[in-house]
Structure 1
Amino acid sequence: MGSRGNGNATGPGGGPAVDKGVDFANYFCTYAYLYHQKEMLSDRVRMDAYYNAVFQNKHHFRDKVVLDVGTGSGILAIWSAQAGAKKVYAVEATKMAEHARELVKGNSVEDVVEVIEGSIEDITLPEKVDVIISEWMGYFLLRESMFDSVICARDRWLKPNGVMYPSHARMWVAPIRTGLGDQKMDDFEHAMSDWYNFIDETESHYGVNMNVLTKAYREEHEKYYLKTSLWSNLHPDQVIGTAAIIKEIDCLTATVEEIRNVAAQFTIPINMDRTRLSGYAGWFDVHFRGSTHNLAIQEIELTTAPSTNGGTHWGQQVFMLHPPFRVNEGDKVMISFTMSRSKENHRLMDVEFTCELQQSSGKRLPPVTSKISIE
């Protein structure tokens, strides 16, 4: 449960090359701080799912060799040892590895757990493993691209009949109502008003007309306020239509190429009358099922769906429509969805929604396309 990511200098799965130094500075360093680990360790939904998955399926760990990818504080490695593993390799790319060693020793499992500082792409293990456990999920599942590293670990070190924890993942999209879009539009308009005041004052005080930069300033702030997804923990009542699964992943067989681009076409019926389609929410769930040859005794699910209990630290990614639609029960939204990695930063995502509203009367509104970044 630690640093998420890929340390490759060459692009994984044939992608563009990644500068390891820049990647480390931009990404890994965040996970080297205890405050960040504490935030994740305080997520009870997350913690309970992994705890139950391990301790209700001890047969997967007893007398087995385990690899924890991105161990962070080391808690998954410690649980694996407590569940009976004979050896645990806990790999961590940041200096958090030093804290993990202290925690391992403090919990008297240092004879089982070996903490290795380094990226999973670069380290070498002395043996193959029976289990790979990792908390690799980013916002809307694939942000951060850490699953690349888990795939690398699986292909290098997992035995043919080995087990992945988690074993499966799904991505979901649903239509929502929320006031977040109005708030962001107000913020954008305030920023532009402030810019125009700045132009007037700069010209009157200093004799320089800044207006030639207005287009660039507007584009910059449109991206920040209107074209970037928002984090939220939504209430289930804010979901106004049936959620759709847009991607299913088998962690034993998935490839980097398979997750590099996600595309789906689906139709969502609206089930709430006289409301506003403000945009879409994206979330994920993961499952601990074991494998076909070695099933879990107790299957565990970890979901980040809208919840009445405050949800998880992942929350949901909200993709706003500007302007929103008025919708009624019985209307249908036909959606074409794509998500790909940002060309500027392979850990971030570019999302495109094209939606067409078919009203219950049969009338179809013109399709609307929204391009939104997950940053």
Structure 2
Amino acid sequence: MEGMDTTDYFESYEDLEIHQLMLSDVARNKAYKKAIEDNAKEIKGKTVLDVGAGTGILSVFFAKAGAKKVYAVEASNVYKIAEDVVKENQLSSVIEVIHGKVEEIDLPEKVDIIVSEWMGFYLLHEAMLDSVIFARDKFLKEGGLMFPESATLYSAACSVPSMFEYWNNVDGVSMRCFGEKLRQKASQKPITEQIDPENILTDPENVLWLDLREVTAEDLNNIKIQQLAVANKEGTYQGICLWFTCNFPSYGTEPVTLSTDPEEEETHWKQTTIVLPTQINVEKGTPLAYELGLQRCNENNRRYKIEVTMLDPDEIEHPEFCNCYLTKCILVRAMLEKYEKDSLPN
């Protein structure tokens, strides 16, 4: 992926259409609002730091939930809109909008809570989490709360008909050559689109789990994991789909999760898909193996290089209860099932 410098990064957030997109994301807004309202007892009378406050909607949620003071920090010129939103909602006595990078500001006190909507495509794109980690280490009281407090990145094998089958017949015209050009471009940069749940071919595998109370920026530099997935249906293996979930603190209420799973309500993040150069027909039980790597770019630490290496499923270790159709796994399953049956009391 091509990188942008820090100035370009903050200037990009002065585009009102970006904020319109985020503010129109019902699932995003609903998850933050519910998590904040459900924890009103923990928020009442507390101090909050909103990192990358944007137009200030999360700060307003906290103020309305009873926070004593909210510091809304925004580095781009959108801070002016946040100031207007605060005034419009008559919350100037609670919310203080601060124009600056969180790494360069000072606060008169440590805070009880940090909130941020830092997630990018495939969770880590734009690396705003670095700023949240910095703020946590500098400004959060010991035992303070993080909204969200954890995040998980998933991967699954999928079909991508928009990059393959669609171009076989466009209103009666074969355009496979154009589809090939699109796939060549997609090999340099993953695509962002909503994937139909029917096109997910395997159960999701956990790529990365982050505890926002403990993760460091260094932990995010180089992520590499080997995956073995098993097709749960017949289909055409054409890509690897990435999505994430975020969990919020919960005290005596049902935990709130913001999910970008293809089966959940669509979000502005959609899903990130790495398109394969070729397609493979699979049947139920087919083992699919690959190594997925996300490495922070040296020239721009807000961007990541994503690499996928296809592996031979015969040459990597399978889990004990693997349900693929390889003979070795069928035999192991049969032995385990017999052992379990024999272990049952008569």
Q: TM-score range by the shorter chain?
A: 0.7 to 0.9
In the alignment, structure 1 residue 90 sits paired with structure 2 residue 78: no
Give me the CA root mean square deviation: 2.2
Q: Does the C-alpha gap of structure 1 residues 190 and 90 become closer, same or farther in structure 2, counting only changes over 3 Å? A: closer
263, 282, 301: which one pairs with 2:242? 282
93, 99, 111: which one pairs with 1:117? 99
Matched residue of 2:79: which SS? Answer: helix
Q: Does the C-alpha gap of structure 1 residues 176 and 188 become closer, same or farther in structure 2, counting only changes over 3 Å? A: closer
Q: Does the C-alpha gap of structure 1 residues 283 and 339 become closer, same or farther in structure 2, counting only changes over 3 Å? A: same
In the alignment, structure 1 residue 178 sits paired with structure 2 residue 160: yes
- Counterparts of 2:39 and 2:229 in 1: how far apart (Å)? 37
In the alignment, structure 1 residue 40 sits paired with structure 2 residue 19: no
Q: Which runs of 5+ in 1 are unaligned?
A: 1-17, 192-220, 364-375
- Counterparts of 1:190 and 1:103 in 2: how far apart (Å)? 45
The share of aligned pairs that are identical, in percent, is 34
Q: Does the C-alpha gap of structure 1 residues 190 and 125 become closer, same or farther in structure 2, counting only changes over 3 Å? A: closer
Residue correspondence of structure 1 range 216-227 to structure 2 within 5 A = 222=184, 224-227=185-188
Amino acid at match of 1:336: E
111, 125, 128: which one pairs with 1:129? 111
- Counterparts of 1:145 and 1:91 in 2: how far apart (Å)? 17
Matched residue of 1:161: which SS? Answer: strand
Q: Give the drift of 1:187.
A: 3.1
Give CA-to-partner distance per residue, 1:229-287, whole Å, 9 cap, x none. 001111111101111011100000000011111111221111112x2101110000000
Q: Which region of structure 1 is more displaced relative to structure 2, 138-147 or 326-335?
A: 326-335
Is the CA contact 1:132–1:158 (under 8 Å) kept in the aligned structure 2? yes
Amino acid at match of 1:360: Y
In the alignment, structure 1 residue 78 sits paired with structure 2 residue 60: yes
Q: Give the drift of 1:337.
A: 1.6
Q: Give the drift of 1:151.
A: 0.1
In the alignment, structure 1 residue 23 sits paired with structure 2 residue 6: yes
Amino acid at match of 2:212: C
Q: Which runs of 5+ in 2 are unaligned?
A: 168-174, 314-323, 329-346
31, 40, 43: which one pairs with 1:58? 40
Give CA-to-partner distance per residue, 1:291-313, whole Å, 9 cap, x none. xxxx463410000010364x110
- Counterparts of 2:252 and 2:151 in 1: how far apart (Å)? 16
Q: Give the drift of 1:185.
A: 7.0
Q: Give the drift of 1:118.
A: 0.2
320, 341, 359: which one pairs with 2:296? 341
- Deviation >6 Å, runs of 4+: none
Task: Tell me how many residue pairs correspond in the alignment.
Answer: 307
Q: Give the drift of 1:23.
A: 1.3
Residue correspondence of structure 1 range 1-375 to structure 2 within 5 A = 22-25=5-8, 27-182=9-164, 186-187=177-178, 222=184, 224-273=185-234, 275-289=235-249, 295=251, 297-307=253-263, 309=265, 311-356=266-311, 358=313, 360-361=325-326
Equivalent in the alignment of 2:344:
none
- Counterparts of 1:163 and 1:308 in 2: how far apart (Å)? 26
Matched residue of 2:248: which SS? Answer: strand
Is the CA contact 1:128–1:157 (under 8 Å) kept in the aligned structure 2? yes
Matched residue of 2:141: which SS? Answer: strand
TM-score (structure 1 length as normaliser): 0.77
Amino acid at match of 1:304: T
